[in-house]
Amino acid sequence: MDNKIILFFCKGNIHRSVIAEICLRQELEKIGLSARYEIISRGIQGCCGTVKPKYANMTHCETEWSLTKPVLEKLGVDFSEIAKRIARPVSEDDIRRANIVFAMELAILGKNGKHFPLSLFSQFPD
């Protein structure tokens, strides 16, 4: 049986989608289902000629990291992977391979008629 691929994406892949990926992976490990799923996260920035995010990961965003780290610690989330991560742009292959795609906000999905350059439907209309 092939693993199911779950893709989370946000604007830059430095905060929301990364946390969602790590949290879901940890929860699947806790209940013994991690071998069935591949959990990935990506960002819309940096794909299709758009500008890459300013920071490689959220540890470089001092304010956000100072607010996020204590919450992750309190929730028991293993955030050690975050500092090693580098923002990854979404690719057409990521989308085609994914069994389910979670947009971390409606605007970056672009399905609500707001097709601006940083939306999934603008970058990958097919």
Q: What is the CATH number of the domain that holds 111?
A: 3.40.50.2300
Of the two residues 83 and 7, the one the predictor is more confident about is 7
Q: Is 16 helix (H, G, I), strand (E, B) or coil?
A: helix
Tokens coding 71:
């919450």
Domain span at 96: 4-123
Question: Degrees (nearest 5) of the Cα angle 20, 38, 2?
Answer: 150
Tokens coding 1:
């049986």
Mean pLDDT of 39-58: 89
Residue 31 CB-density burial (10 A; 0-12 exposed, 13-18 middle, 19+ buried): exposed
pTM of the model: 0.87
Q: Is 41 helix (H, G, I), strand (E, B) or coil?
A: strand
Provide the number of structural domains found in the chain: 1
Mean pLDDT of 71-96: 88
